[in-house]
Chain A
């Protein structure tokens, strides 16, 4: 019998239909993938299951009994926990305090038993073979990936029968993502149900027993994973046939150097970085996570202090802050790593977010022209097919992938022609990923120069003209042509590490 059975589930937000007549069934002991385009309703679905929001209509049965959790605590009482992204964690608390938040082990006096908490934390981390985490570390010091891992620990700390992972791998580097997949299998083997949401087909393939596909808030199909091809899945997800994910790599590179970096250094994370990025080129940046990729992008954008020489389009550029970086046609723009913390004003509208960097452009005699702004916003929303009720919808209420599109649009509206894309497809669905890669190639053909980091290595391999492999804050290798492959990237990243 199914552990969870859902029928006719619906949820609307004002005029926006997030779910309508969604159905779902999953058994204990399986990994069940939930697939669908951006905005298909996946997160809404798991929010309902985990008690974060309440549904308008439909039934949910857990163990054959009616289930309608009023809040996350009620969901936990029935053994259901969801792994949310960074925002459910409290920056001022330590890793272990976050993991046990509101469920701290206590002494008979009711005081938090720190020794016990530490013991339980270490036991939990060991049992599931967690990547290095220090229980006492303050959360605000952690990277996005590390926070995601803490979030997973927090979910597991509740010892749930049903664990929901909503795009948990999207913020993780390859090795940690690999670990999470193994963990997922382990949990299923323990007889738990894992509901797994991801936009990476390879991951879904690697671990899912069964899968359910959502489109526009409804269930379009459910399959045994072994009985269905990638092609069928993608077609059902996006409602049309996707010829190819990666665009053809027509070289559009010219001899003109768009960005020249010499001896760039920043703190202990970045030292002696030299490279050139040419007009029309997509230059990949790879290597193991935490080897200076983040610092490189932030330093180029003026978001962290750095020394060294930067030339833009042949002229020395002094980039002291993002504002200087963004200025003018010779500027340099960034799609940042942390879309909620760095990229978007969650409580402001799609319109305000899109035009924030370029708002000056809509002023005449110092006064904003709403018409001009609205026209450009509409153009961008249509161009990127951002799924929002109206441009006035708050950015924080968009689906994850659509938030990412807004950030992309915001960057495109600046006039900068050197683009720094840090994991631009994080949380973006397959169809849109393909569109973004195509867009990158189109921009390159138009004379843009693109520096591109992805936590998903195949993207680098298939989209970049050249790949810089970083190791210990330096460029360990530059791969070109036939040498660009996952093996070569890994070899360059690791061999060098051993040699050092």
Chain B
């Protein structure tokens, strides 16, 4: 147990931070810990968490995915357009858009793994291209409202539990299995730790890299559809906030931004922390501008805690030799 704690110190810290933040928030706004409020916090966190799932994989593998905002946004808008408010088309629209998200991920992954394009450039480019395509497609006009079924998925409940929370739970389970219990996870951590060593060890480095971007495309597209259900409508710019929050959730969750470490379980705490913060700040009567400042500060602090551990370890290793 103590070995587990030592190895996952940063993840444990993220959860500790989450609890502290909850208590602090409850002090400022007494209703915060109420069931209904917790429920809506978890729902909001789920969107961040789902987008950050793919981001976690990409970052552990040593990359970064900046295309999530417009993959999310594109899926949202195209779904609204294709469904025209009807449930039935969802049967083919959802798989189609998931495939579309996966395809964007494939393009990102192939660009990075096969053509050696730096991840920042590659994913930024796909992001901009998608943005342009969607602007052309919609001409800026509003889209029809979201189908009822998708609204059920994002705001409905089963036995008191928000459906989306259950979806999030299931995804967390899958992600955990992939990272901790599958060969893929080992390959991924090895890749993020040292691409050369991974290559020399027979790890399918290109395939693993591509897979992480595909997962990220999938989760961003999925989140986009769910978010449309939540807001009742798709609109331009709805994904923008998720670029920052998805990366921040991963970092707060204890992953090194340089790759090779971290876990989705940490990211889950990261998503919660970010969402609780969003709830805390209005209670403190802070503006949304101030919110961004606090957001930024939290990231800076958590990442520097993480990198200090990293630097400390790096220093120790550097001191060692044959």
A327 and B203 CA atoms in complex are apart in Å by 11
Q: Establish whether residues B177 and A367, one from each chain, have CB atoms under 8 Å apart when the complex forms.
A: yes
Of residues 336 to 357 in A, which have CB atoms within 8 Å of B's CB atoms? Answer: 336, 341-348, 352, 355-357
Choose one: A43, A166, A344; the contact of B197 (CB below 8 Å).
Answer: A344
The 0/1 profile, CB within 8 Å of A marked 1, for residues 282-322 of chain B is: 00000000000000000000000000000001001111111
Q: Which residue of the partner chain B has the closest CB to A401?
A: B322
Does A262 sit at the interface, judged by CB under 8 A?
no
Binds B, one of A80-88, A101-109, A230-238, A277-285: A80-88
Interface pair A87/B321, CB less than 8 Å apart:
yes
Q: Total interface residues on A, using CB and 8 Å?
A: 52
> Which one of B51-59, B115-123, B187-195, B273-281 is at the interface?
B187-195
Asked if A303 is at the interface (CB within 8 A of a chain B CB), the reply is yes
How many angstroms between the C-alpha atoms of A345 and B313 in the bound complex?
13
How far apart are A408's CB and chain B's nearest CB, in angstroms? 14
Q: Which of B7, B194, B202 has the most CB of A within 10 A?
A: B202
Let me know if A438 is at the binding interface, CB within 8 A: no
Tell me, yes or no, whether A7 is within 8 Å of chain B by CB.
Answer: no
Assess whether B318 is in contact with A336, with CB atoms less than 8 Å apart.
no
Residue pair B320, A396 in contact (C-beta under 8 Å): yes
Instruction: Let me know if B182 and A368 touch, CB within 8 A.
Output: yes
Q: How far is the CB of B279 from chain A (nearest CB, A)?
A: 36
Cα–Cα distance between A35 and B105 once the two chains are bound (Å): 54
Q: Given contacts A166-B322, A360-B183, A427-B322, is CB(A303)–CB(B317) below 8 Å? A: no
Residue numbers in B under 8 Å from A52 (CB-CB): 319
A342 with B200: in contact, given A84-B321, A88-B318 (CB under 8 Å)? yes
User: A87 is contacted by which of B198, B199, B318 (Cβ under 8 Å)?
Assistant: B318
Taking A347-B260, A356-B186, A359-B186 as contacts, is the C-beta distance between A367 and B181 under 8 angstroms? Answer: yes
Interface size, B (range): 20 to 34
| Minimal beta-carbon separation of B120 from chain A (angstroms) | 18
Q: Which residues of B contact A43 (CB under 8 A)?
A: 320-322
Q: Which residue of A lies closest to B204 (CB)?
A: A323
A29–B186 Cα distance when bound, in Å, is 51
Most buried by A among B190, B317, B321: B321
9 nearest A-B residue pairs (beta carbon): A400-B322, A326-B202, A52-B319, A396-B317, A427-B322, A167-B322, A323-B202, A356-B201, A345-B193
CB<8 Å pairs between A and B, sample of 24:
A53-B319, A85-B322, A303-B199, A323-B199, A323-B203, A336-B200, A341-B194, A342-B200, A343-B200, A344-B197, A345-B190, A347-B317, A348-B193, A356-B186, A356-B190, A357-B201, A357-B202, A360-B183, A362-B183, A363-B182, A368-B182, A394-B317, A397-B317, A414-B202
